[in-house]
Amino acid sequence: MKYKRILLKLSGESLMGDKQFGIDNNRIHSYALQIKEIRDMGIQIAIVIGGGNIFRGVQAEAGGMDRTHGDYMGMLATMINSMALQAALEAVGVHTRLQSAIEMKEISEPFIRRKAVRHLEKSRVVIFGAGTGNPFFTTDSAASLRAIEMNADVILKGTRVDGIYTADPEKDKMATKFKEITFDEVYAKGLNVMDLTAFTLCKENDLPIIVFDMDTPGNLKKIIEGEQVGTIVKN
Ligand code: GTP
Domain boundaries along the sequence of the chain:
5-234
Please name which of 3, 7, 2 lies closest in space to residue 117, comparing C-alpha atoms. 7
Q: Which atom of ligand 1 has the smallest separation from the CA of 105?
A: 28
Residue nearest to atom 10 of ligand 1 (CA): 109
The answer, yes or no, to whether any atom of ligand 1 lies below 6 A from the CB of 160, is no
pLDDT number for residue 163 = 96
Task: Using DSSP bridges, classify how beta strands 231-234 and 209-213 pair: parallel, antiparallel or unpaired.
Answer: antiparallel
Residue nearest to atom 6 of ligand 1 (CA): 119
According to DSSP, the residues that pair with 157 across neighbouring strands are 9, 211
The answer, yes or no, to whether any atom of ligand 1 lies below 6 A from the CB of 108, is yes
pLDDT number for residue 56 = 85
Residue 153 one-letter amino acid: D
Q: How far is the CA of 109 from the centre of ligand 1 (A)?
A: 7
Is 80 in a helix, a strand, or coil?
helix
Task: Using DSSP bridges, classify how beta strands 154-159 and 5-10 pair: parallel, antiparallel or unpaired.
Answer: parallel
The answer, yes or no, to whether any atom of ligand 1 lies below 6 A from the CB of 105, is yes
pLDDT number for residue 26 = 96
Query: Going residue by residue through the chain (235 aa), what tens digit of pLDDT does each one get?
Result: 899 999 999 999 999 999 998 999 999 999 999 999 999 999 999 999 999 999 987 788 888 999 999 999 999 999 999 999 999 999 999 999 999 999 999 999 999 999 999 999 999 999 999 999 999 999 999 999 999 999 999 999 999 889 999 988 888 999 999 999 999 999 999 999 999 999 999 999 999 999 999 999 999 999 999 999 999 999 9
pLDDT number for residue 62 = 86
CATH topology for 5-234? Carbamate kinase (3.40.1160)
Global pTM reads 0.95
Q: Which atom of ligand 1 has the smallest separation from the CA of 118?
A: 4
